[in-house]
Amino acid sequence: MWSTAREIAAGDVVIVWMTRDIIQPLVITPGKELNSKYGYYRHDELIGVPYGSKVRSRNGKGFIHLLRPTPELWTLALPHRTQILYLADIAFVTSWLDIRPGSKVIEAGTGSGSFSHSVARTVGPRGHLWSYEFHEVRAEKAREEFTRHGMDGIVTLTHRNVCKQGFTVEDTVDAVFLDLPAPWDAVEHAKKALRKDRATRICCFSPCMEQVLRTVAALNEAGFTNITMYETLLRPHQVDAASPLLPVSAISTKLKHSEARREEKRLRQIANARLGMERRAAKRKAGEGEDAEGAGGEEKEGKRVKTESAQQGREGGGEERPSPEEQAQDEAEALTEIRAASNTQGQDEQSATPEPRKITLSKAFPEVRGHTSYLTFAVLLPLSTATPASQAGGNDGSGAVRTEVRTLTAQIETIRMTC
Amino acid sequence: MDVGEGPSRAHHAPSITRDDRIQIGHTLLIKIPSGDIRSIKLEKDATVNLGKFGSFYANELVGQPFGLTYEIVDKRLKVLPPRPLQEVEDTEATNELINDGQFVQPLTVEEIEALKKSGLHASEIIKKQIEQHANYSLKTEYSKEKYKKRKEMKYSKSFSVIEPTMFNVCEYWFNKDQNRLRDIRPDSLAQMMNLANIRPGGRYIAVDDASGVVVSAILDRLGGQGRLITICDVDSPPAYPVMVQMNFRKEVVTPTMASLNWATADEEYTPIIASTEPPAGKFKSDGQRARLNKRKVASDALMQTREELFSGEFEGLIIASEYDPHSIIEKLYPYLAGSASIVVHSPHVQVVTNLQNQLRDLPGYLGPTVTEGWLRQYQVLPGRTHPMMNGSGSGGFIFHVLKIYDDPTASSVMVHRHRKKAKQSSEAPSAASNGTKEGSVTVTASDLESTPAPASAESSGPTEDVEMRTL
């Protein structure tokens, strides 16, 4: 399919990995340039670079990775013309249908070729894939891609509506994969294309349960057995390196520190207020006579009482609390103190470790794919051949068994032909 | 193959790694009416004993295609045609008046044994039971079907031969004892094969402590072309018991595979090999000559395999091991080609998440991911379609990463942007997202979406269609 050489050559298809979400194919063409957010590259300078290299931009800013194409990377990089199949479904279908080197497989429809590339890789040069696409433009695009990726020896692409016109091979394939809106219309055609001398398999890929039910009925009617259905999905996990979780003793200490600091501030405020009052009292005493003092004295007393009671209020805690900003500042200061203390401790215990040891935390990504499609599978059993023992057998009554086997076989044939 | 339209009857290429027909010497997966699957080796002229389900002559199966169902009649086999799914009629019946109790089905054990002995066919026995069943007519049609099926499982003398596809063999082992497979379920195994890009003609290294399920799958997908070197923790050739049920064609599969252990796979170590020359200078006997010859062949093969491993350029490394995967990757990394896939499976999430954190800050690794497979099977019967009542809790976790050749002189686009910003104003906003760092630069979550992540740091910042973009 793609190049197996160690280094990139002119004309190669290469997968350019810029970020996890920006993975694109690139055809290495002498004279051309790749200009992107991640730098500027001349194709000529990429020739001779080993596959798998990180390459820096000409202007020194940015880099990309040049990867060897695989069907899995192709699935992430390919230009979508339709909804495509992803790893979980592709892998499961390939496995259940027993697709392996030498297998002969039918796929309808081709779509954007995601499944096609994987099958071609798995069956290899001794196997074959007949792929059918009813949309002419998409069929052409797929054909171009298959050719460019060296798949012409393995894949035969036909532009055709298989539900109406059937397939182009008979009694040939080991497995059929139908990704169609109405797969039940293609079941009989599939039966014709499947070989009859061994068990063969079929898979119908449909997003809706109603389609599954109709497909199951059609498969049953056509004589398929072992009909079953699966759903398969991948849950990706996000993995982080985090600081070890703080114990509550640290928080307890922090709260105690901040409470102590608040109390300190409060006492300071009381002391300052008292000082201020005493100074003002001294000033007035110096500036006015006894009468003024007498009258003012009551007022001041009143004020003093009020102030004192207000202070008592604060002392008692009551409803009055420090402002949120003050509280936050206290707590932040306290926390820094604690952190500094633990860091010093850490440095005393171990020699110069700049960062505290990280722990691994993981969880499933918050957004995951919930459904792709239902995979309906079935087997088409071969017509049995008489057992060799019965054929060779003598006069021990096995003749009756032999006849029964033949009768049964004939019955099955009749049933099959009328289906 | 000719391109284009028109019918074609292609010549049936025989299966490469496995036989299409049952042979003597095969270890068969036999499904008995109770639903259990037994592993039975087919010996020439022997009798296969299935206990209460009967016994039959082994030779009867020779030459048969896989997948058929047989009835045992006088130790010979009759092919049973497959039964289509029955449409079950909806009636007014409910279980409103049915009481479970002792006297519901009145045939005693002795009566049933007598019927069995008299040679009555299973279907007749079941019919009799139904006739006598006190509440049978009250049951719903679905319930009746279920009843009949349960009785069939008990009384019929039939069995099916299960084709040894990788899927079926893996499923058989997984259901028997998933611990021996280290929780590698058929869907997990399939994903590993695709992620590692296993293809005919490819060259891979595998470390398999999962009874050989991974080795079997790789060999199956190599189809006799390519190379697999396995590394194990024992002196002698490793036992990969799953290979037994695969019934591989030895002459096709054996040449593609070779094994080393953790000592012989060490470049710094010179294996101790006994002399292959006769001490006296001359062979004392033919026996001695044969022995020394055998030893020479083995030591030559060992040296050759070592050379092959050390020459490197392997396309993929697949690990399903009880040992620390980081230590395995460290040892074998030099033998991988650029752009090679490293796939690690573990039954425990901690093993793979720790591995990702160990590799995240090292250059030479690109795009690490941890995924968990989810699989649900449905019963699809007319009028009775629903997920299976019993499901599988876990198929393990898969870690995947690509090997790349780093360029230490390359610097990220974001680094330049931040330097610019730093020059222009005071510090760039630094909010460490989930405690991760990219090299020496701290980036915000929005930056992550457009930053080319250096090989090391990969963590948060998922975009909408996560499943679309992660493998």
Residues 103-122 of B with CB under 8 A from A: none
CB-CB under 8 Å, A239 with B356: yes
CB-CB under 8 Å, B63 with A387: yes
Please state, for a pLDDT cut of 70, what percent of chain B lies above it: 80
Alpha-carbon distance values, A402 to A33, B57, B73, B78 (Å): 74, 15, 12, 8
CB-CB under 8 Å, A232 with B373: yes
Phi-psi region of A111 (alpha: psi -120 to 50; beta: other; left: phi over 0): left
| Chain B neighbors of A379, CB-CB under 8 A | 67
| Chain B neighbors of A6, CB-CB under 8 A | 313, 337-338
Which is it for strands A33-36 and B47-49: parallel, antiparallel or unpaired? unpaired
Residues 339-398 of B with CB under 8 A from A: 339-341, 349-350, 353-354, 356-357, 360, 366-380, 382, 385, 397
Average pLDDT, chain B: 83
Question: What backbone phi and psi angles, to 5 degrees, belong to A358?
Answer: -90, 155
Contact of B238 with B232, CB cutoff 8 Å? yes
Is any Cβ of chain A less than 8 angstroms from the Cβ of B277? no
Alpha-carbon distance values, B386 to A225, A377, B95, B449 (Å): 18, 15, 20, 40
Q: How many DSSP H helices and E strands does chain A contain?
A: 13, 14
CA nearest to B76, candidates B58, B59, B56: B56
DSSP labels, A92-113: HHHHHTT--TT-EEEEE--TTS
Q: Would you tell me the crossing angle of helices B166-177 and B186-195 to the nearest 10 degrees?
A: 130
Among the partner-chain residues A101, A171, A405, the one whose CB lies closest to the CB of B225 is: A101
Find the largest Cα–Cα distance for chain A. Answer: 148
Among the partner-chain residues B59, B353, B373, the one whose CB lies closest to the CB of A88 is: B373
Condensed to tens digits (0 to 9), the pLDDT of residues B35-68 reads 899 999 999 999 999 988 889 999 999 999 999 9
Across B69-85, average pLDDT:
88
Q: How far is Cα B302 from Cα B273, in angstroms, rounded to an integer?
A: 10
pLDDT at residue A409, as a whole number: 47
Across B250-268, average pLDDT:
94
CA nearest to A377, candidates A45, A170, A94: A94
Contact of B77 with B83, CB cutoff 8 Å? no
| Chain B neighbors of A229, CB-CB under 8 A | 377-378, 380
Among the partner-chain residues A20, A23, A102, the one whose CB lies closest to the CB of B458 is: A20
CB-CB under 8 Å, B376 with A232: yes
Contact of B132 with B147, CB cutoff 8 Å? no
Residues 206-265 of B with CB under 8 A from A: 220-225
DSSP labels, B168-227: HHHHHHHHHHTTTTTT--HHHHHHHHHHTT--TT-EEEEEE-STTHHHHHHHHHHTTSSE
Per the DSSP assignment, residues forming a β-bridge with A65 are A17, A54
Is any Cβ of chain A less than 8 angstroms from the Cβ of B195? yes
Contact of B302 with B264, CB cutoff 8 Å? yes
CB-CB under 8 Å, A199 with B65: yes
Q: How many residues does chain B have?
A: 471
**B74: closest chain A residue by CA:** A398
Virtual torsion, Cα B272, B277, B280, B286, nearest 10 deg:
120
- pLDDT of residue B407 exceeding 90, the answer is no
- pLDDT of residue B252 exceeding 60, the answer is yes
CB-CB under 8 Å, A168 with B339: no
CB-CB under 8 Å, B193 with A95: yes
Per the DSSP assignment, residues forming a β-bridge with A35 are A40
Res. B427 pLDDT band, cuts 50 70 90: very low
User: How many A×B Cβ pairs under 8 Å?
Assistant: 367
How far B169 CA lies from chain A's nearest CA (Å)? 11
Residue A82 burial class via C-beta count within 10 angstroms: exposed 0-12, middle 13-18, buried 19 and up: middle
Residues 409-448 of B with CB under 8 A from A: 409-413, 416, 434-436
**B8: closest chain A residue by CA:** A169
Residue B222 burial class via C-beta count within 10 angstroms: exposed 0-12, middle 13-18, buried 19 and up: buried
Is any Cβ of chain A less than 8 angstroms from the Cβ of B459? yes
- pLDDT of residue B441 exceeding 50, the answer is no
Please, what's the b/e burial string for A162-196 (b: 16 or more CB within 10 A of its CB; e: otherwise)? bbeebbbbbebbbbbbbbbeebbbbbebbbebbbe
CB-CB under 8 Å, B380 with A216: yes
CA nearest to A49, candidates B401, B314, B197, B405: B405
Contact of A14 with A149, CB cutoff 8 Å? no
Tally of CA atoms within 13 A in the half-sphere of A161 that contains its CB: 6
Neighbours of A95 (CB within 10 A): 27
CB-CB under 8 Å, A235 with B466: no
How far A97 CA lies from chain B's nearest CA (Å)? 9
Q: How far is Cα A417 from Cα A408, in angstroms, rounded to an integer?
A: 14
Q: How far is Cα B152 from Cα B284, in angstroms, rounded to an integer?
A: 68
The residue ranking higher by pLDDT, A403 or B28, is B28
| Chain A neighbors of B465, CB-CB under 8 A | 369
Alpha-carbon distance values, B126 to A248, A352, B31, B109, B150 (Å): 68, 80, 21, 13, 10
Q: How far is Cα A21 from Cα B46, in angstroms, rounded to an integer?
A: 60
SS (H, E, C) A51-81: CCEEEECCCCCCEEEEECCCHHHHHHHCCCC
* Structure-block tokens of residue A336: 């820094």
Virtual torsion, Cα A330, A332, A337, A342, nearest 10 deg:
140
**A72: closest chain B residue by CA:** B195
* Structure-block tokens of residue B392: 């599988």
How far B71 CA lies from chain A's nearest CA (Å)? 11
Per the DSSP assignment, residues forming a β-bridge with B376 are A231
| Chain B neighbors of A102, CB-CB under 8 A | 13, 15-16, 223
Neighbours of B405 (CB within 10 A): 19
* Structure-block tokens of residue A199: 């068990």
CB-CB under 8 Å, B462 with A366: yes
Q: How far is Cα B138 from Cα A312, in angstroms, rounded to an integer?
A: 84
**pLDDT truncated to tens, each residue of chain A (419 aa)?**
999 999 999 999 999 999 999 999 999 999 999 999 999 999 999 999 999 999 999 888 899 999 999 999 999 999 888 889 999 999 999 999 999 999 999 999 999 999 999 999 999 999 999 999 999 999 999 999 999 999 999 999 999 999 999 999 999 999 999 999 999 999 999 999 999 999 999 999 999 999 999 999 999 999 999 999 999 999 999 999 999 999 999 999 999 999 999 999 999 999 999 999 999 999 888 876 555 544 444 445 545 545 554 555 444 444 455 676 766 676 666 666 655 555 554 444 444 555 678 899 999 999 899 999 999 999 999 976 655 444 444 344 444 444 444 444 455 455 555 54
Among the partner-chain residues A168, A227, A379, the one whose CB lies closest to the CB of B67 is: A379
Alpha-carbon distance values, A90 to A8, A76, A85, A186, B192 (Å): 28, 13, 6, 20, 12
- pLDDT of residue B457 exceeding 50, the answer is no
Condensed to tens digits (0 to 9), the pLDDT of residues B202-231 reads 999 999 999 999 999 999 999 999 999 999
* Structure-block tokens of residue A141: 């695009």
pLDDT at residue B434, as a whole number: 35
CB-CB under 8 Å, A17 with B194: no
How far A225 CA lies from chain B's nearest CA (Å)? 7
pLDDT at residue B110, as a whole number: 80
pLDDT at residue A406, as a whole number: 46
State the complex-level ipTM: 0.82
Q: How far is Cα B352 from Cα A404, in angstroms, rounded to an integer?
A: 58
Q: How far is Cα A1 from Cα A12, in angstroms, rounded to an integer?
A: 11
> Is the bond into A62 cis (omega within 30 degrees of 0)?
no
3-state secondary structure of B334: helix
DSSP labels, A138-205: HHHHHHHHHHHTT-TTTEEEEE--HHHH--S-SS-BSEEEE-SS-GGGGHHHHHHHB-SSS-EEEEEE
| Chain B neighbors of A357, CB-CB under 8 A | none
pTM of the model: 0.81
Contact of B457 with B433, CB cutoff 8 Å? no
**Among B341, B404, B406, B458, the residue to mutate for chain A (most A Cβ within 10 A):** B404
CB-CB under 8 Å, A19 with B452: yes
CB-CB under 8 Å, A71 with B194: yes
Find the largest Cα–Cα distance for chain B. Answer: 99
* Structure-block tokens of residue A122: 């798995």
Measured between its terminal Cα atoms, the distance across chain A in Å is: 40
Q: How far is Cα B249 from Cα A105, in angstroms, rounded to an integer?
A: 23
| Chain A neighbors of B396, CB-CB under 8 A | none
Q: How many DSSP H helices and E strands does chain B contain?
A: 14, 15
Contact of A176 with A377, CB cutoff 8 Å? no
pLDDT at residue A343, as a whole number: 54
